[in-house]
A and B are shown apart, each in its own frame.
Chain A
């Protein structure tokens, strides 16, 4: 959460998609004075967020983004949600239509422990970041860091920054993603913008 917050300039306009119980938004509103909005699917998360005084609506990232006007936000955040998005390209385009920057984070499917589960154990991976048995998982997209970078390039987005986070929580800020990064990062965060 702190890694995402570090990417955001104080006083900017922020939309947090899948904002959960509003912890990140609450932090950004109070410590970075942002004009923050949130969308959250779970009613429990929405109610908690609104009780904190946050501007959060119950809604679905894929269904509701089309209602927002272009350039309404400086940053649109999609935290740990990409893996359950059906229309990935459409959603990513929407993020960068609504916002000048998009911040996308997801569990890296290229992480060595994930690969080990598949390669050695012959099982669909279950880890702290991917905690579901394959048949109960809301995750329908299994994307590696290299996959995402390739997609971003294909969609002609600029990757302003990549942060990889290893198993012990250590974050490293990078310009590009090499094989070793992909291998050792359990999670990754991207700061994207439109190519002009």
Chain B
């Protein structure tokens, strides 16, 4: 009974409209208009907008779709010039014709996460009830909520089963959530540089970032939109601190060492004497131009709350059950934010349920960010695993006319 009424509710709920005033390229749909989405917190959200991009062609059986989940500060523009920054897409080297995620073979979907504010609803957007921007009135969201929203969109696209779900870092959390919550909808899963729960150290780093934002007087308790202000100092510091955690000590030393920035001697002051300081300041200031500060609070919080075993009395293996999903976990040797040991815990849990699992640790000094960089070994693992899985899925090449 309840499942039938749920299905009907879902049907009404996924009647989507293309908003006329969409300034960003790509697709948007409005969901939760008739029946709001119940969030993990118990609060309800709706209507809300989801923005997504697609690359490649969906085959007639709708069996070649790959959902790419972006990381904390990524967005749906994974494989194209970013409409705001003008930079190449964050997975430009991975998604495309002839690339590891080959768009001649696969149909790639990348959605901006719930709370992401790059077209998908978040604290920057107008609350339909108050006609004012949400700010901190936006409900707290979780990885579970992000994935629940993605599933609504996948259902709307008529895709019964995703060929693959993949992503790095926060993207890997979404991959694990998909595999655990909707295993029947996932053929294979590639969580990259991820973990089954956010560690105390990682929560600590996030808290530093959030405190920096909230300590900025321009934050105005999250209502900076009303004050025509932006907490760019706070957000910039948050980004600078976070950026350090994405790199390894040896890579920092290799790139910057103790080299000075445009000077032959130290200034005996607090200017950015060192190249690393100048680099971080640049990272901070460019980030502010594209990312909403409240969105940063919400998405970091979603990661902090992630603990996939929590619903299963802390038993990670129970999160996956007797799963038919084929997993490929990838970690990087110099990643100290999401170290290999975190991936290995997941591998052990998957072994315990005799799941089909591949696990590779890539040797690199690039740190956590390695999944965004040119790592040939990583790329060959990605494409190799995908073609093996495609063979098992019975996928044939999409004909391009």
Contact call A67/B358, Cβ cutoff below 8 A: no
Partner of A64, one of B348, B377, B381, B392: B348
Q: Is B40 an interface residue when CB atoms closer than 8 A count as contact?
A: no
Interface centre among B362, B385, B387 (most CB of A within 10 A): B385
Q: Given the complex of chains A and B, what is the CA–CA distance between A49 and B385 in angstroms?
A: 9
Partner of A50, one of B353, B354, B363, B384: B384
Contact call B351/A58, Cβ cutoff below 8 A: no
Q: Given the complex of chains A and B, what is the CA–CA distance between A49 and B328 in angstroms?
A: 12
Interface flags for B344-366 (1: CB within 8 Å of A; 0: not) read: 00011001111011111111000
Query: Contacts A43-B361, A58-B361 given: A64-B351 contact, CB under 8 Å?
Result: yes
Contact call B352/A47, Cβ cutoff below 8 A: no
Contact call B348/A67, Cβ cutoff below 8 A: yes
Q: Is A54 an interface residue when CB atoms closer than 8 A count as contact?
A: yes
CB of B101 to closest CB in A, whole Å: 15
**A69 partner residues in chain B, CB cutoff 8 A:** 352-354
Contact call A68/B351, Cβ cutoff below 8 A: yes
Q: Is B374 an interface residue when CB atoms closer than 8 A count as contact?
A: no
Q: How many residues of B contact A (CB 8 A)?
A: 27
Q: Given the complex of chains A and B, what is the CA–CA distance between A57 and B344 in angstroms?
A: 9
CB of B261 to closest CB in A, whole Å: 38
**B328 partner residues in chain A, CB cutoff 8 A:** 50
**A73 partner residues in chain B, CB cutoff 8 A:** 354
Q: Is A96 an interface residue when CB atoms closer than 8 A count as contact?
A: no
**A51 partner residues in chain B, CB cutoff 8 A:** 380-381, 383-385
Q: Is A72 an interface residue when CB atoms closer than 8 A count as contact?
A: yes
Query: Contacts A43-B361, A57-B357, A57-B358 given: A50-B352 contact, CB under 8 Å?
Result: no
Q: Is B389 an interface residue when CB atoms closer than 8 A count as contact?
A: yes
Q: How many residues of A contact B (CB 8 A)?
A: 22
CB of B380 to closest CB in A, whole Å: 5
**A52 partner residues in chain B, CB cutoff 8 A:** 384, 388
Nearest-neighbor residue (CB-CB) of A98 within chain B: B354
Query: Contacts A51-B380, A51-B384, A57-B347 given: A46-B360 contact, CB under 8 Å?
Result: yes
Q: Is B197 an interface residue when CB atoms closer than 8 A count as contact?
A: no
Q: Given the complex of chains A and B, what is the CA–CA distance between A51 and B360 in angstroms?
A: 10
Nearest-neighbor residue (CB-CB) of B347 within chain A: A57
Q: Which of B318-356 contact A (CB under 8 A)?
A: 326, 328, 347-348, 351-354, 356
Query: Contacts A53-B388, A53-B389 given: A47-B356 contact, CB under 8 Å?
Result: no
Q: Given the complex of chains A and B, what is the CA–CA distance between A13 and B356 in angstroms?
A: 11
Contact call A57/B356, Cβ cutoff below 8 A: no
Q: Is B311 an interface residue when CB atoms closer than 8 A count as contact?
A: no
Q: Is A101 an interface residue when CB atoms closer than 8 A count as contact?
A: no
Q: Is A162 an interface residue when CB atoms closer than 8 A count as contact?
A: no
**B357 partner residues in chain A, CB cutoff 8 A:** 37, 55, 57
Query: Contacts A50-B381, A50-B385, A64-B351 given: A43-B359 contact, CB under 8 Å?
Result: no
**B265 partner residues in chain A, CB cutoff 8 A:** none
CB of A40 to closest CB in B, whole Å: 10
CB of B66 to closest CB in A, whole Å: 15
Q: Is A35 an interface residue when CB atoms closer than 8 A count as contact?
A: yes
Q: Is B401 an interface residue when CB atoms closer than 8 A count as contact?
A: no
Q: Which of A52-96 contact B (CB under 8 A)?
A: 52-59, 64, 67-69, 72-73
Q: Is B391 an interface residue when CB atoms closer than 8 A count as contact?
A: yes
Contact call A56/B358, Cβ cutoff below 8 A: yes
**A72 partner residues in chain B, CB cutoff 8 A:** 354
Interface flags for B84-126 (1: CB within 8 Å of A; 0: not) read: 0000000000000000000000000000000000000000000
Nearest-neighbor residue (CB-CB) of A36 within chain B: B356
Q: Given the complex of chains A and B, what is the CA–CA distance between A41 and B313 in angstroms?
A: 32
Interface centre among A43, A46, A57 (most CB of B within 10 A): A57
**B384 partner residues in chain A, CB cutoff 8 A:** 50-53
Q: Given the complex of chains A and B, what is the CA–CA distance between A49 and B357 in angstroms?
A: 12
Q: Given the complex of chains A and B, what is the CA–CA distance between A58 and B353 in angstroms?
A: 17
**B358 partner residues in chain A, CB cutoff 8 A:** 49-50, 54-57
Contact call B387/A53, Cβ cutoff below 8 A: yes
Q: Given the complex of chains A and B, what is the CA–CA distance between A22 and B357 in angstroms?
A: 14
Contact call B363/A43, Cβ cutoff below 8 A: yes
**A46 partner residues in chain B, CB cutoff 8 A:** 359-360
Jot down 23 A-B pairs with beta carbons below 8 A, ordered by A.
A35-B356, A37-B356, A37-B357, A46-B359, A50-B328, A50-B360, A50-B384, A51-B381, A51-B383, A52-B388, A53-B392, A54-B358, A54-B388, A55-B356, A57-B347, A57-B357, A57-B358, A57-B359, A59-B347, A64-B351, A67-B348, A67-B352, A73-B354
Given contacts A47-B362, A51-B380, A68-B354, 6 further A-B contacts (CB under 8 A): A37-B357, A47-B360, A51-B383, A55-B357, A55-B358, A58-B360
Taking Cβ atoms with an 8 Å cutoff, the residues of A that contact B are 35, 37, 43, 46-47, 49-59, 64, 67-69, 72-73
Taking Cβ atoms with an 8 Å cutoff, the residues of B that contact A are 326, 328, 347-348, 351-354, 356-363, 377, 380-381, 383-385, 387-389, 391-392
